[in-house]
Amino acid sequence: MTGASRSERPVESGPSTLLDLHREGRLVREYPSVRRLLCGASDAELARAGQLLARLDPDEVLAEHPAVPVVSVAVTGHGTLAPLLPSLTVELARHGLLLRPHLADFDAYVFDLADPGGELYRADLALCVLDPMVVFDEVPVPWGPEDVERVARERIGTLAGLVARFAESARGTLVLNTLPLPRRFTAQLVDHRSRARLGAVWREANARLLRLAEEHERVVVLDLDPLAGEGVPVVEPRLSQYTRTHLSPALLAAYAREIGHLARHRAGQGKKALVLDLDGTLWGGILGEDGPDGIEIGADGTHRGGAHHAFQRVVGQLAAQGVLLAAVSKNDPEPVGEVLRGHPGMFLREDDFVRVVANWRPKHDNLAELAKDLNLGVDSFVFVDDSPYECGLVRHELPGVSVVPVNGEPALHIEALLRDGWFDTPELTREDVTRVAQYRDELVRKDFLDGFDSLNEYLRQLRVEVHLVEAGPAEVARLSQLTLRTNQFNQTTLRLGPAEVSALLDDPAARVLAVRAADRFGDSGVVGAVFTHRHGDTVHIDNFLLSCRVFSRGIEQTALCAVLRHARAHGARAVRANYRATPKNTKVKDFYPRNGFVRVADENTTLTHPTAACRSDGTTVTYEHGLGVLPVPPVHVHFTEIPGDDGS
C-alpha cells in the first residue's frame, strides 16, 4: 500500500459524534447522519447510543425526514422486555432505519398472539421473546426431566396454535426464538443420567420451536444457541430475580442485532454484492511484491495461507446462495488473472466473480463504476478490505457502501464478514442460485452493446422475449423477493412477504402478474411483477417493478401495454397507478406519464385496496390512463400474450 496524496485523504465532515448531537439537541435534525456516526462503534458505544436514540420521538424524526425508511416492531414475550428497546433502536439506526416500537404489557404474549386487533398483527416485525422461565416458572419443586418435558410440551403446543392463528391474518413477520438452557437448571440435577435427559427434552422442545419456521411462511425462529456459544451470558441472575428480565442485557443486545438484519431485509435494504480486496484479504502478502508464488494462500500451506483459504471457502459458500462476488484491488491485472486462473492454493476462481477489477485507480471510483455496470446501487455493496485507509476512504466517498474492515489476523476474517448477516433472507429462490451467471451474462450483453452504433439496432439484435404470466404458488417466493430487493424500478416500494403475495393470489379482486424475460444470451427468469386490483370499472396498479438487471430494453413498456389492453378488453374505464417517490426510484418517476397516463388531482381515491402502500405525505402521485389510445409496445420485443388477455 502506497501513501495517498493529500487530496485522496478521507476528510471528516459534519458532526463529530452522536453525543455532540445529543448535547446540542440536534439528533432529530441530523438523524440521517446517525448511520455514519455509528460505523465501527463498539458494543458499549452502541449501548450508550441506543439510550440516546430511544428517547427520540419517531414521529418527529419522520416529520423532519420523510424519506427515512421506518420499520414498525411490536415486542411481546414472557419477561421484562423494556431493556430491549434501546438495543433495537440503535441496531436499526445502524442500517439507516427508523424504529417505530410498540412494547406490549408484561408477560402478555399469549393474549397478544391471540388478538388480531392488536399491534402485533399490524407491525412489520412482531417479536415474541421467549426465555427459559416460560417453562421453569411452571415446573414444581422437586422436579425431574419428565416435569420439564411435560411443561415444555404444553407451552410449545399452546404457542404452536397461536402462531398458526397469527400466520393466517397478521401482516408482518413473527419472530420467535429458541430457549437457552442455563447451567443454573442443569446443575440442580445431581445425577448425570437425569441431566442428560433434561438436555435431550429441552432440545426436543427447541427443535419443535424451530420447525414452526418450516410450517409457516411468515415465521422466523432465531436460534439463540449460537449467540450464547459466542460467550454472551444467557442470564444476569440479579436482573432475572429482581426485575424478571430473564435474558441478560448482553443477550438482548445480540438478539437485537439479528433483528436489525431482518429489519434491513424487510425495508428492502438487503445487500446484493460482496466486493473483496485481494492482498491481505483474499490472500496474504502483496502480489506485486511477493509474486504469485510468494503470496500466502492454500489449505496445505502456511498457517496464514490456510486461514485465507478458509475465508475463501466461506465467501464461496455465500456466493453459492446468490451473493454476487467482485474483486477490487490495487494491482496490475495480469498477475491477478494468473492467480485466479491457476494458483493451486486458491479456492475461489475467476468464474466465481462477476467482475475482477485490478488497477491503480481509487477504489471508490472502481466501486461506483462497478455499481453502474451491474445496474445496482452502491448501497447494495458490502466491501471488505484490510487497509484502514481504503476502508476510511470508501466510507467517506461512498457512505452507502457497507464497509467491513478486516485486519492482519486472517483467522478473524470469517467472523468479521459474518458478524452482520449482510445477506440474510427468509428463504432462497431459484433465481438466487443462478444469480452470478445472470449478472455475468449481463456484462457480456453490455460488451455486446458497446459493439453497436445505435441502441435500436442493439435491441433488435438482442431478441428480447417477454412472457406475462398470471402468478401461481410457484412464483410467490420470487415475487416477494422482487418487492423486497428492488429499489430502483419500484413504483411504490410496496414490500410484500411471501404470505402477503399468497394472500393476493387468493383475492378475487387482485391480479398478480409475473414478468418473465429472455434474450439471445439466455433466460433471465422472473424479472418483474405487476400487482393490480379492480375496483368498480377502474383497474389500479398497486405496484409495478422490474429487476434492475433488465431496465430499458422495452420489457417494462411491453408489460404495461399488456395490462392496459387487458383492462380495456375486460370493460374497464380507466387504469390508475401510483408513483411514490423514494431516494432510489427517481429514474422511473416519469414511467407512467411517458406512456400516456395523466396526473390525477384527487389522489385519495386510489387508496382503496389493502395493499395500497402509498402515504398521503406528499411523496405519492397518482396517474390515470383513460384507455382511449393505447401506447404501442416496442417493436423489437417479442411478446407472448396471456390467453384471452387481448379480449379474444
Partner 1 sequence: MNSIDDFLILLQDDLGLPVTGADVGAGLDRVPGWDSVHLLSLLALLERTTGRALPLAQALEAGSLEEIYTLAVAP
Residues forming a β-bridge with 637: none
Least distance to partner 1 from the beta carbon of 394, Å? Answer: 31
For residue 243, the minimal CB distance to partner 1 (Å) is: 6
Cβ 81 to partner 1, closest distance in Å? Answer: 10
Residue closer to partner 1 (CB basis): 25 or 408: 25
533, three cell numbers: 386490483
- The sign one gets for the Cα dihedral 544, 548, 551, 555 is negative
Pairing of strands 538-546, 522-535: antiparallel
Nearer to partner 1, 80 or 532 (CB): 80
CA nearest to 134, candidates 114, 144, 121, 148: 148
Minimum separation from the CB atom of position 605 to partner 1 (A) = 43
- Of the chain, the end-to-end C-alpha distance in Å amounts to 67
Q: Report the alpha-carbon distance of residue 269 to residue 583 in Å, rounded.
A: 12
Laid out side by side, the sheet with 125-129 consists of: 98-103, 70-77, 125-129, 173-177, 219-222
Nearest-angstrom CA–CA distance, 344 and 240:
54
Cα separation of 40 and 35, whole Å? Answer: 10
Q: Is the peptide bond before 142 cis (omega within 30 degrees of 0)?
A: yes
As measured in angstroms, the least distance from the Cβ of 332 to partner 1 is 50
Is there a contact between 222 and 178 (Cβ–Cβ < 8 Å)? yes
Looking at the Cβ atoms of 192 and 238, the one nearer to partner 1 is: 238
Reading the block at residue 577, the C-alpha cell is 397507478
Cα angle value 362/273/2 (rounded, 5°): 25
Cell of 510: 387482485
Beta carbon of residue 53, minimum distance to partner 1 (angstroms, whole number): 8
Torsion of the alpha carbons at 389, 390, 392 and 395, rounded to the nearest 10:
170
Sheet with 574-580, edge to edge strand ranges: 598-599, 620-625, 574-580, 538-546, 522-535, 510-519, 465-470, 638-640
Written as one string, the DSSP assignment of 25-49 is T-TTTTGGGHHHHTTT--HHHHHHH
Shortest Cβ 16–partner 1 spacing (Å) = 15
76 vs 245 by CB, closer to partner 1: 245
174 - beta bridge partners?
126, 219
Virtual torsion, Cα 304, 309, 313, 318, nearest 10 deg: 70
Q: What is the closest distance, in whole angstroms, from the C-beta atom of residue 69 to partner 1 in the complex?
A: 23
List of long-range contacts for 180-185, beta carbons under 8 Å, 24+ apart: 180/131, 180/132, 180/224, 180/225, 180/228, 180/234, 180/247, 180/251, 181/132, 182/132, 182/234, 182/235, 184/235, 184/237, 185/132, 185/136
Nearer to partner 1, 133 or 637 (CB): 133
CB of 110 to partner 1, least distance (A): 23
Contact by Cβ (8 Å): 540, 532: yes
The contacts of residue 267 (CB under 8 Å, 6+ apart) are 69, 71, 95, 97, 495
What is the C-alpha to C-alpha distance for residues 592 and 348, in angstroms, rounded to an integer? 44
Question: What type of residue is 604?
Answer: N
Complex with partner 1: residue 48 or 122, whichever CB lies closer: 48
- Provide the minimum distance between the beta carbon of 175 and partner 1 in the complex, in angstroms, as a whole number: 21
Based on CB atoms, which residue is closest to partner 1, 79 or 118?
A: 79
- Phi/psi for 462 (5° steps) reads -70, -25
Instruction: Return the number of the residue (54 or 368) whose C-beta is nearest partner 1.
Output: 54
Helical (H) or strand (E) element with 599:
strand 598-599
Residues that bind partner 1 (CB under 8 A): 19, 22-23, 44, 48, 51-52, 54-55, 80, 82-83, 85-86, 238-239, 242-243, 245, 249
| Residue 530 to residue 535: CA distance in whole angstroms | 16
Tell me whether residue 22 or residue 165 sits nearer to partner 1 (CB atom): 22
Residue with Cβ nearer partner 1 (257 or 485):
257
Contact 331, 325 (CB under 8 A): no
242 or 360, CB closer to partner 1?
A: 242
C-alpha cell at 576: 390508475
Q: Give how far the C-alpha of residue 134 lies from the chain's centroid of Cα atoms, to the nearest Å.
A: 31
Q: Which residue in the block uniquely carries the three cell numbers 457502501?
A: 401
Q: How far is the CB of 415 from partner 1 (least distance, A)?
A: 24
Q: How far is the CB of 159 from partner 1 (least distance, A)?
A: 26
Residue 255 CB, shortest distance to partner 1, in Å, is 16
* Min CB(261)–partner 1 separation in Å: 24
Q: Which is nearer to partner 1, 244 or 349 (CB)?
A: 244
CB of 67 to partner 1, least distance (A): 25
- Considering beta carbons, is residue 55 or 638 the nearer one to partner 1? 55
| Minimum CB distance to partner 1, residue 82 (Å) | 4
